[in-house]
Amino acid sequence: MRGFFYLGHAMALLDVSEVLTDPDFMDAGLICYRRAQVVGDNGIATNTEVPFTFSAVVTSNSGLQLLRNPDGEVIKGAITVHTKFTLQDGAAGLTADEILWQGKRYTVEKIDPYTHFGRGFVAAICALKPLSG
C-alpha cells in the first residue's frame, strides 16, 4: 500500500501528567478504601480496610440520576477518576476499591490504563454507593 506507514507500538506523545497534578484541576482530598480479604484457619473470611489519600481529576460520568420504578425511587450515578494512583477494580484477595469524594462513596467498576501517555495514568469509572433514594 502506498503512503502507509506502520510504526509499531509507539508511546503516545501527549503527556497529561501536568494537568493531573495542576491545582486548578485536581482534587487532593480523595480517599481510597482498599479492602483485603483473608480466610483464617477456621474458614471464616476477615476483611481489612486500609484508607489511602490520593489526588485525582474527577469528572462526571453519568451524573446523578433519579430512577423511578414501581417499587420506589433510586438515585444512581457515576464519576470518572483520572489519577496516577493505582486503583483496583478487584483482584485475588482484594475487593474493588471504594473512593470517597465530596462526602459520597463510589465503587471502582472499571479501570482504563493509559500508561502509554507520558508518565501514565488510569481512568477509573466509579459507581455511586450505596444506591439511595
Q: What is the reported pLDDT for 12?
A: 60
Whether 19 contacts 58, CB under 8 Å: no
Q: Is residue 10 part of a domain?
A: no
pLDDT band with cut points at 50, 70 and 90 for residue 91: confident
Q: Looking at residue 90, which CATH number applies to its domain? A: 2.40.10.270
**54-75: per-residue pLDDT in tens?**
999 998 887 777 788 888 877 7
For residues 64 and 82, which has the higher predicted lDDT (pLDDT)?
82
66 falls within a domain: yes
Is 1 among the domain residues? no
The whole-model pTM stands at 0.77
11 part of a folded domain: no
For residue 2, being part of any structural domain is answered with: no
